[in-house]
Amino acid sequence: MDDFRALKDIRLTVIGIGLMGGSVLKALKSAENRPAMVTAVDTDPDVLAKIEAKGLADIATEDTASAIKDADMVVIALYPKQAIKLVTEHSGDFKPGCVVTDICGVKREVMDEIPKLLPEGVDFVGGHPMAGREHMGFDYSVPDLFLGCKYILMNGPKKAVKLVRDFADALGAGKIVKADPEYHDEMIAYTSQLPHALAVTYMLSSDARGVEDFSAGSFRDFTRISMINEEMWSELFLENRDKLGDEIDHLMDILNALKVFTKSGDRESLKKMMKMAAMMREGIKG
């Protein structure tokens, strides 16, 4: 008997229909490998009405317990603390053999908490699709949000990982990246949280001066990610406070060196820094 289930044969429940959950529904709607049944769970009746009007799910409901009880796979599309709270409250509702995944941008906390809250026979595979937009909420969700994105997966039982991988493929993910929570959070502190922290800091540093007349494309690209959702990002920063703090410390040492070279007129050292940075950036594809 084949222990591996195909995505198209399962009943999938998506919990939390914001930017990410909504984009999951929209991507799956036209996916070749669409699950046999898709249930959407949200607490906002307006969002549920929109899902029904657009035919984005077979069932759109506020009843989390029933939606979990029926599911072969559950995608928790909530912020980390809410995700843990949901599993705590509904741990008895997951049926044996169910595969659970999440989309949280920091992984140590959810990976520490969620597996031990789930009953035996229910597998958790942490996930982090590296996709997003400046604006949050269902109304900004789009079918191609995940198209070509890196989809990071934590370890888990083979058949559970296979199912989540098929789910990521169905969304249009470009590359599946395997990582453990520690390494993930360290890398994300650098590749995602630090740029957002710097863009926020940079904008606050403007002192509300009239910068508009002196800004070009480089300013716009550099500051786009300062338009940040403070609810989500403050939670992500704090869950990863040790790693992000280390990254900021490290960056400040280098920024201080650049400042000293600038103030002291050490052109050769400045040129070395610039040349090295350009080389490193050019070495990163995509």
Binding positions for a second copy, 23-82, rule CB under 8 A: none
Question: At its nearest, how many Å lie between a second copy and the CB of residue 281?
Answer: 5
Q: How far is the CB of 134 from a second copy (least distance, A)?
A: 8
Binder of a second copy out of 104, 149, 163, 168 (CB under 8 A): 149
Residue span 163-202 as binding mask against a second copy, x where in contact by CB under 8 A, dash where not: ------------x-x-x----x--xx-xxx-xxxxxxxxx
Question: Could you tell me how far CA 181 lies from the centroid of its own chain?
Answer: 13
Q: How far is the CB of 120 from a second copy (least distance, A)?
A: 33
User: Is the CB of 88 or the CB of 191 nearer to a second copy?
Assistant: 191
Residue 108 as a binder of a second copy (CB under 8 A): the answer is no
Q: CB–CB of 193/201 below 8 Å? A: no
Backbone phi and psi for residue 127, each to the nearest 5 degrees, phi listed first: -135, 155
Q: Give the binding-site size for a second copy (rule: CB under 8 A).
A: 91
Choices 17-25, 38-46, 114-122, 257-265 (CB under 8 A): range interacting with a second copy: 257-265
- Determine which residue in the list 30, 53, 96, 205 makes contact with a second copy, applying CB under 8 A: 205
- Residue by residue, DSSP assigns 206-230 as TTT---GGG--HHHHHHHGGGS--H
User: What is the Cα–Cα distance from 61 to 48, expressed in whole angstroms?
Assistant: 7
Burial of 270 by CB count in 10 Å (0-12 exposed, 13-18 middle, 19+ buried)?
A: middle
Amino acid at site 144: D
- Show contacts with a second copy in window 228-247 (CB under 8 A): 228-231, 233-235, 237-238, 241-242, 244-245, 247
Are 227 and 134 a contacting pair, CB within 8 Å?
yes
Nearer to a second copy, 92 or 286 (CB): 286
Phi first, then psi: what are they for 84, rounded to 5°?
Answer: -65, -40
* Sole binder of a second copy in the list 10, 33, 150, 158 (CB under 8 A): 150
* Widest distance between CA atoms in the chain: 73
Return the ∠ at Cα 39 (arms to 36 and 40), rounded to 5°. 145
Q: Which is nearer to a second copy, 182 or 242 (CB)?
A: 242
Q: What are phi and psi of 243, to 5 degrees?
A: -70, -45
Per CB under 8 A, contacts with a second copy among 115-144 are 130-132
Chosen residue from 6, 36, 49, 277 binding a second copy by CB under 8 A: 277
